[in-house]
Amino acid sequence: MKELLKDLVEIPAPSGYENQVRNYIRQSIEPLVDEIRVDSMGNLLAVRRKNGAMRLMLVAHMDEIGLMVTHIDRQGFARFVSLGGVMPIHCVGGRVRFLNGVQGVIGVEKNPTSYEIPPLEKLFIDVGAANAEECPLRIGDVAVFERPFLDLGKRAVSKAMDDRVGVAVLIETLRRMEKSEFEIYFVFSVQEEVGVRGATVAAFGVEPDLGLAVDVTATGDTPKGHKMEVRLGAGPAVKIRDAGMLADPRIIHWMVQTAEKAKIPYQREILEFGGTDARAIQLSRSGVPAGVLSIPCRYVHAPSEMVDMEDVENAVKLLLRLLQTPPRLDSHS
């Protein structure tokens, strides 16, 4: 899976510009599914048919955070806005690559003091141009952080682990899956980082009986980090709550019972900020029971996000088990 993950994270695909990674995913999974299509929003939907079975929507988002040029001054420096949750603390001195191949470095108007974090409005992108005429950028050009995949053995680091690691889990699940008790819609969604937009459209079209997002979650295992009971290497996490949703208790029970029965390590997750595509599924049409299988990830929304490959492997194992054991959704008791 490490080679698959490396391929995925190194493809640039900021929100709204997911075509390169979508093409890669489609080529990887087309022989493994009964039907595959791209909807009008750009989501990639792949179906494993099973007539009469419950309809399960599995979703992982393809997009990553990025930057969009808003203005180029006379000296050739480009101002920008964020696509998704770009944090200024991670920007100064960072390198970016535009979809047209242009590379640059992020600078700041003046050297801040050691305790000051400059806002995005005080940052700019320097592509080495001497003036506006030399600048190879245009208003609306988009970029992602330039970071290669770093193999640390058991752990891996890269930009875009959020959520290419979830994409990798779904692809690997498709590769290994022999049977299922569901009709499964594998959805690789667009524009999650700017408001779960792709999943909103996809869930409305799929009309699932239940939904499960596979996405990253933060950890509480770094020095003086925020208090959170999720850590790298202790297994995938079963989401209970985040800022966007309360996971359906029936889905939580199904995931926990399946993990315990299969002796797959897992963690219970409460994330006090952020959200996932599961929120869009849960609120679709007249409502859908939904939950999240989370991959612990350090430094989420930084240019270097870290995951543990054992957590990734155990996420695939748990998902394969879940696909063989449908939950009971006949009551809320």
Active site residues: 192
Cα distances (angstroms) measured from residue 70 to each of 50, 128, 302? 48, 18, 22
Quick one: 27 exposed, middle or buried, by C-beta within 10 A (0-12, 13-18, 19+)? exposed
Please enumerate in sequence order all residues whose Cβ is within 8 A of that of 97, keeping only pairs 6 or more positions apart, or say none. Answer: 12, 103, 143, 144, 145, 146
Cα distances (angstroms) measured from residue 251 to each of 163, 174, 326? 21, 21, 10
Q: Which of 15, 173, 179 is nearest to 84 (CA)?
A: 15
Q: Do 201 and 278 meet the contact criterion of CB atoms below 8 Å apart?
A: no
**Structural tokens at position 105:** 């470095």
DSSP secondary structure letters along 183-224: EEEEEEES--TTTSHHHHHHHHHH--SEEEEEEEE--S-STT
Burial 182-199 (b: 16+ CB within 10 A, else e): bbbbbbbbbbbbbebbbb
**Structural tokens at position 113:** 């003091």
Which contiguous run of DSSP H or E holds residue 28?
helix 19-29
Q: Do 164 and 5 meet the contact criterion of CB atoms below 8 Å apart?
A: yes
Cα distances (angstroms) measured from residue 202 to each of 13, 39, 208, 233? 19, 8, 10, 32
Q: Which of 165, 150, 199, 164 is nearest to 316 (CA)?
A: 165
Which contiguous run of DSSP H or E holds residue 172?
helix 161-176
